[in-house]
């Protein structure tokens, strides 16, 4: 193994090294300024991994070794590292919590990042499945350390039970596939399946169904979505933003690889099933969001609809579709993480802003915070000039291009319902008057600045989506 062969692993190695550093820094305990040290170490580490990922993406595919880093994986690496920086920077510095607790949380986030990176780069079905399961397990732990013990534990326990069940079936599917084809590498798996594609054996189809079910569980597609709302409302706000965004991105990356590389010969078989899942997911998400009163569950339902949209892009395998899916994932991820971070900031001290009605009049009492949240929500609703609109339009274009016009119409109509759901909070913030004056927690300048970066990115991508779309096209071209 030459030195060049290590290059693709550099971001991953940096993250792993950072985990060690944070553990060391965190274990030194003691108060004072040491509390800051762990955070700084974590941020520097993730930022370095981010820079390395950008470099690797820039240099093009590095198809070396067993765990290959191509532009597709690097694209996601950049997104995850950016999310990681955001997740580590955004929460307040530990004052009420002990510093070790903070270090523990940061380590979990870094571990999730490392697992996601492995999952995104995995060219092997077994590696990808295990890495995703590890990611998922870490997010369950992140849920479990929530401040509100009962709720957090309950959510984590539910997720664990559901995941254990689905995970077992999923791994059974992986094993079955290996048993039938004698192969677990995605590309060779595809050739093996293609060799017998005229008459795919029942076992292969069964195995595929189990694997797809597992992946649908990770991306929280209907009917495997129940854990998502519990987790996001059980975890603390900052962690909820990280885990919902990161996990869905990871799940979609692996789903795309598995479906479009390994199971590409069986497209005729999985297309109707995936179409049904996509359609039902978006409709269920939008309809659930319309009447949901808990803001975190509301945003989770909105995310569910976006999963459905992204799955539409995954189906339309024509180059545009995969790139549109990547674009839409990034757009959704930014808005989702931003919205969760803002809700977390509003619930940190004093009156917890949990219910939709808690936001009544916020637009007049905290104009800047309300404006930032509004733009995040508008992006989630897919209204111009935000990244959400560009993503929705690209996905619709891909669907139309692939001849799935009914699907495009369904997605378009669903987005109307979605808009209504997203604007419910906006209506509360700007349009409804309430005699009750709610105590508003202070939102620190750092939080506002961090959110302003995200919101500026959302608007910039909405006004000028070309660079990211080009990048997505390039990333996709190397794989599919």
Partner 1 sequence: MALSVLVLLPLAGAVGTYLLRDRARFESARRLALGVALWTFVATVMLWVSWSPAIPGPQFVERWPWIEPMGVAYHVGIDGIGLAVLTLIAWMGVLAQFVSWRMGARAPAGLAVAMLLLESAGMLTVVARDLLLFFAGAELLLLVTFFVVGAWGRERRVRVATRFLLAQMTASSLMLTAIIWLAWRHQIATGVWSYAFEDLATLEVPIGVQGWIWAALAFAFVVRLPVFPLHTWLPDVLVQAPMPGAVLVGGVVVPVGGYAMLRVVVPLLPVVPATFAFWIALVASLGVIYGAVAALAQTDLRRIGATLIVSHLGVFLIAGTASTPAASEGALVHLLVLALWSGAWVLVVGMLGQRRQTTDLAEFGGLWRTMPGLSAVFVLTTVSALVFPGTAAYVGVSRMLEGIASESSLIDGRLFGGLVAAGVVAWSLCLFRVLYRVVGGRITRDRNRGLRDLNAAEWSVVAPLVVVTILVGVWPAPLVWLVGAVAPESWLSAMAVGGGVP
Q: Contact residues for partner 1 (CB under 8 A)?
A: 320, 363-364, 367, 378, 383-385, 389-390, 393-394, 396-397, 400-401, 405, 408-409, 412-413, 415-416, 419-420, 423, 427, 430-432, 464-466, 469-470, 473
Decide whether 355 or 470 has the Cβ nearer to partner 1.
470
Decide whether 195 or 431 has the Cβ nearer to partner 1.
431
> Which of 324-340 are b and which e, b meaning 16 or more Cβ less than 10 Å from the residue's Cβ?
bbbbbbbbbbbbbbbbb
Decide whether 122 or 407 has the Cβ nearer to partner 1.
407
CA-to-CA dists, residue 258 to 74, 189, 403, angstroms: 17, 10, 23
3-state secondary structure of 261: helix
Instruction: Specify the DSSP element, H or E, that contains 179.
Output: helix 149-181
- Helices within 219-319 (DSSP H only): 226-234, 237-257, 267-291, 295-315
Shortest Å, Cβ 305 to partner 1? 14
Shortest Å, Cβ 91 to partner 1? 29
Decide whether 53 or 475 has the Cβ nearer to partner 1.
475
Nearest by Cα to 237 from 331, 349, 332, 157: 349
Q: Does residue 63 come out as left (phi exceeding 0), alpha (psi in the -120 to 50 range) or beta? A: beta
Shortest Å, Cβ 390 to partner 1? 8
CA-to-CA dists, residue 363 to 337, 438, 446, 451, angstroms: 20, 13, 20, 16
Decide whether 442 or 470 has the Cβ nearer to partner 1.
470
Decide whether 147 or 474 has the Cβ nearer to partner 1.
474
Shortest Å, Cβ 479 to partner 1? 18
Nearest by Cα to 339 from 368, 296, 310: 296
Phi, psi angles (nearest 5°) of residue 220: 60, 55
Decide whether 86 or 430 has the Cβ nearer to partner 1.
430
Shortest Å, Cβ 439 to partner 1? 21
Shortest Å, Cβ 452 to partner 1? 14
Shortest Å, Cβ 393 to partner 1? 7
Nearest by Cα to 331 from 278, 289, 390, 287: 390
CA-to-CA dists, residue 173 to 161, 179, 211, 262, 301, angstroms: 19, 10, 6, 14, 28
Decide whether 173 or 465 has the Cβ nearer to partner 1.
465
Contacts of 324 (CB under 8 A, 6+ apart): 313, 391, 394, 395, 397, 398, 469, 472
Shortest Å, Cβ 272 to partner 1? 21
Decide whether 98 or 432 has the Cβ nearer to partner 1.
432
Q: Rounded to an integer, what is the distance from CA 275 to the centroid of its chain? A: 21
Check if the beta carbon of residue 315 is closer than 8 Å to that of residue 271. yes
Shortest Å, Cβ 402 to partner 1? 10
Cα(455)–Cα(283) distance, integer angstroms? 27
Decide whether 29 or 384 has the Cβ nearer to partner 1.
384
Shortest Å, Cβ 445 to partner 1? 17
Cα(456)–Cα(442) distance, integer angstroms? 22
Check if the beta carbon of residue 194 is closer than 8 Å to that of residue 159. no
CA-to-CA dists, residue 283 to 54, 276, 280, angstroms: 36, 11, 5
Check if the beta carbon of residue 476 is closer than 8 Å to that of residue 61. no
Cα(169)–Cα(174) distance, integer angstroms? 9
Decide whether 158 or 440 has the Cβ nearer to partner 1.
440
Shortest Å, Cβ 473 to partner 1? 6
Shortest Å, Cβ 153 to partner 1? 39
Decide whether 293 or 431 has the Cβ nearer to partner 1.
431
Contacts of 11 (CB under 8 A, 6+ apart): 49, 50, 52, 53, 56, 77, 81, 117
């Amino acid at each position: 193994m030459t030195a060049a062969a290590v290059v693709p692993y550099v971001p991953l190695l940096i993250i792993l090294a950072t985990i060690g550093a944070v553990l060391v820094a965190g274990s030194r305990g003691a108060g004072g300024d040491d509390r800051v040290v762990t955070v700084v170490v974590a941020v520097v580490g993730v930022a370095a991994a981010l820079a390395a990922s950008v470099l690797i993406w820039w240099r093009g595919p590095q198809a070396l070794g067993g765990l290959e880093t191509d532009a597709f994986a690097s694209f996601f690496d950049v997104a995850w590292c950016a999310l990681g920086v955001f997740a580590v920077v955004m929460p307040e510095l530990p004052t009420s919590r002990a510093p070790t607790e903070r270090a523990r949380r940061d380590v979990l986030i870094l571990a999730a990042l490392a697992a996601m990176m492995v999952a995104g780069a995995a060219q092997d079905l077994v590696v990808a499945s295990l890495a995703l399961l590890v990611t998922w397990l870490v997010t369950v732990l992140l849920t479990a350390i929530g401040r509100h013990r009962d709720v957090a534990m309950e959510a984590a326990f539910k997720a664990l039970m559901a995941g254990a069940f689905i995970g077992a079936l999923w791994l059974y599917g992986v094993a079955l596939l290996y048993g039938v084809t004698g192969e677990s590498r995605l590309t060779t798996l595809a050739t093996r399946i293609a060799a017998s594609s005229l008459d795919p054996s029942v076992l292969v189809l069964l195995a595929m169904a189990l694997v797809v079910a597992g992946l649908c569980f990770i991306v929280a597609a209907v009917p495997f979505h129940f854990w998502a709302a519990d987790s996001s409302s059980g975890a603390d706000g900052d962690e909820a933003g990280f885990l919902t965004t990161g996990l869905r991105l990871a799940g979609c990356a692996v789903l795309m690889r598995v479906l479009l590389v390994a199971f590409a010969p069986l497209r005729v078989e999985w297309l109707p099933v995936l179409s049904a899942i996509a359609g039902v997911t978006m409709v269920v998400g939008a309809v659930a969001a319309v009447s949901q009163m808990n803001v975190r569950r509301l945003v989770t339902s909105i995310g569910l609809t976006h999963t459905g949209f992204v799955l539409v892009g995954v189906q339309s395998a024509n180059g545009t579709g995969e790139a549109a899916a990547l674009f839409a994932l990034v757009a959704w991820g930014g808005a989702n993480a931003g919205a969760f971070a803002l809700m977390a900031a509003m619930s940190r001290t004093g009156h917890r802003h949990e219910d939709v009605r808690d936001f009544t009049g916020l637009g007049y009492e905290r104009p800047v915070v309300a404006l930032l949240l509004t733009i995040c929500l508008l992006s989630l609703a897919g209204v111009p000039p935000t990244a959400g609109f560009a993503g929705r339009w690209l996905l619709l274009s891909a669907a139309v291009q692939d001849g799935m016009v009914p699907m495009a119409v369904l997605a378009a109509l669903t987005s109307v319902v979605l808009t209504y759901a997203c604007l419910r909070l906006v209506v509360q913030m700007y349009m409804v008057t309430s005699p009750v004056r709610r105590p508003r927690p202070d939102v620190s300048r750092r939080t506002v600045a961090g959110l302003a970066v995200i919101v500026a990115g959302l608007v910039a991508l909405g006004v000028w989506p070309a660079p990211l779309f080009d990048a997505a096209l390039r990333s996709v071209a190397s794989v599919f």
